[in-house]
Amino acid sequence: MTDRSHPHPAAPVYVIGGGPGGLATAAALGERGVRAVVLERSDAVGASWRAHYDHLRLHTTRRLSALPGLPIPRKCGRWVARDDLVRYLERYAERHELDIVTGVEVSRVDRAPDDSGWLLHATGGRRLTSPTVIVATGYNHTPRLPDWPGHESYTGELIHAAEYRNPARYQDRDVLVVGAGNTGTEIATELADSGAARVRLAVRTVPHVVRRSTVGWPAQRAGLLARRLPPRTADRAARTLVKASVPDLSAHGLPRPDTGLCTRARQGSIPVQDAGLLSAVKTGRVEIVPAVTALEDEKVVLDDGTRIAPDAVIAAIGYRPGLEGLVGHLGVLDERGHPLAHGPRTATRAPGLHFTGYANPISGMLRELGMDAQRIAKAVARRTS
């Protein structure tokens, strides 16, 4: 139940982005009597989740993926499917009676002319002001394609994984998937299981691969425990667990990484959860090949000098936050384009400007978004009371 004991300020808190982070933060603010308005550029909440490939399922458990104030229904199963998560986000917005304005894109955030807060430049010439703004446009906001030499003259079929939906168009075709993260490995496995003639997976940095669950114990819970341990101890524990549960596929081009699992996770590279990849690599249905270094007309050049000519290339090499146009001029981003301050903290030069959802923790993004929402709401309510 929303606490109405505190009067709403004249200007609402604006939350930019109607994904899980934005919705959870708006709900947490409402619980503390702070009026929040969510500005969403698409026509519905959860836009980025709607755009993911059809067979996507969360790598985090249903219980540890729910946002504050509403459990995910048990009927969704342990590993929640994309469409079920989208419906959950819709119900979440309804349950918390969130004030959401769709079809409004914020293109730039400036300091208010009187230095009292922030000025948002939005669709249709809107100019919105507030002392507090929450930026929640998402970790996977802008697809990133590498600028491979020869990219402009490449005549083959090349798409980013953001454009991939299902394997139907790749039946009986030779496909190269570039990138060995969770997205790339899942797409490669689905293609191999769904009638592609040949599937190769180009790997630059060998990933850590873990079972989604081991003897019923989900990898997410192991990640939660690992965060509480010293890095070396966590790495040793992870190494022991992986050796006991994951086969050594060095002979198939997928050796065990030299860098510790938890050390790498702290650097922002979370492990790949096995959704069939191990079996597909072991049986040769997914072939591991070196990284792509260049494109030549219809050919793809690999790191070992090999030239191949797949029918299609799917680049699953990640996203970037895409915050430069929105807030890059404010001096609040680091050299990677990520916020300098996150969650309840704000940069010294930008009081009242919060960011949420720009990390990819081993403990689960949705869980962390929910916790972040509570912390941000507490900090904002303290300032506005």
What's the chain look like in SS3?
A: CCCCCCCCCCCCEEEECCCHHHHHHHHHHHHCCCCEEEEECCCCCCHHHHCCCCCCECCCCCCCCCCCCCCCCHHHCCCCEHHHHHHHHHHHHHHCCCEEEECCCEEEEEECCCCCCEEEEEHHHEEEEECCEEECCCCCCEECCCCCCCHHHCCCEEEEHHHCCCCHHHCCCEEEEECCCHHHHHHHHHHHHCCCCEEEEEECCCCCEEECEECCEEHHHHHHHHCCCCHHHHHHHHHHHHHHHCCCEHHHCECCCCCCHHHHHHCCCCCEEECCHHHHHHCCCCEEEECEEEEECCEEEECCCCEECCCEEEECCCEECCCHHHHHHHCCECCCCCECCCCCCCCCCCCCEEECCCCCCCCCHHHHHHHHHHHHHHHHHHHHC
Q: Are 198 and 248 in contact (CB under 8 A)?
A: no
- Sequential pLDDT tens for the chain (385 residues): 333 333 344 689 999 999 999 999 999 999 999 999 999 999 999 999 999 999 999 999 999 999 999 999 999 999 999 999 999 999 999 999 999 999 999 999 999 998 889 999 999 999 999 999 999 998 888 888 888 999 999 999 999 999 999 999 999 999 999 999 999 999 999 999 999 999 999 999 999 999 988 777 788 887 787 778 888 898 898 899 888 899 999 999 999 998 998 888 887 788 999 999 999 999 999 999 999 999 999 999 999 999 999 999 999 998 889 999 999 999 999 998 999 999 999 999 999 999 999 988 888 899 999 999 999 999 999 988 7
Rounded-to-integer distance, Cα 45 and Cα 285, Å:
37
Which pTM was predicted? 0.91
In the prediction, which pLDDT does 268 show? 77
Q: Where are the domains of the chain?
A: 13-141+321-384, 145-318
Query: Strand pairing partners for 176?
Result: 200, 313
Nearest to 315 by CA among 149, 205, 201, 207: 201
In the prediction, which pLDDT does 351 show? 95
Backbone phi, psi, residue 190, to 5°: -65, -40
Contacts of 360 (CB under 8 A, 6+ apart): 139, 268, 270
Nearest to 181 by CA among 166, 162, 168: 162
b/e for 175-193, b at 16 or more Cβ within 10 A? bbbbbbbbbbbbbbbbbbb
Rounded-to-integer distance, Cα 334 and Cα 22, Å:
22
Query: Strand pairing partners for 295?
Result: 300
Contacts of 227 (CB under 8 A, 6+ apart): 234, 361, 362, 363
What is the CATH number assigned to the segment(s) 13-141+321-384?
3.50.50.60
The reply to whether 145-318 shares the fold of 13-141+321-384 is yes
In the prediction, which pLDDT does 17 show? 97
What is the CATH number assigned to the segment(s) 145-318?
3.50.50.60
Residue type, 150: G
Q: Region of 253 please: left (phi>0), alpha (psi -120 to 50) or beta.
A: left
Q: Give me the residue label for tokens 């939906």.
A: 165
Rounded-to-integer distance, Cα 79 and Cα 326, Å:
34
Strands laid side by side in the 307-308 sheet: 292-296, 299-302, 307-308
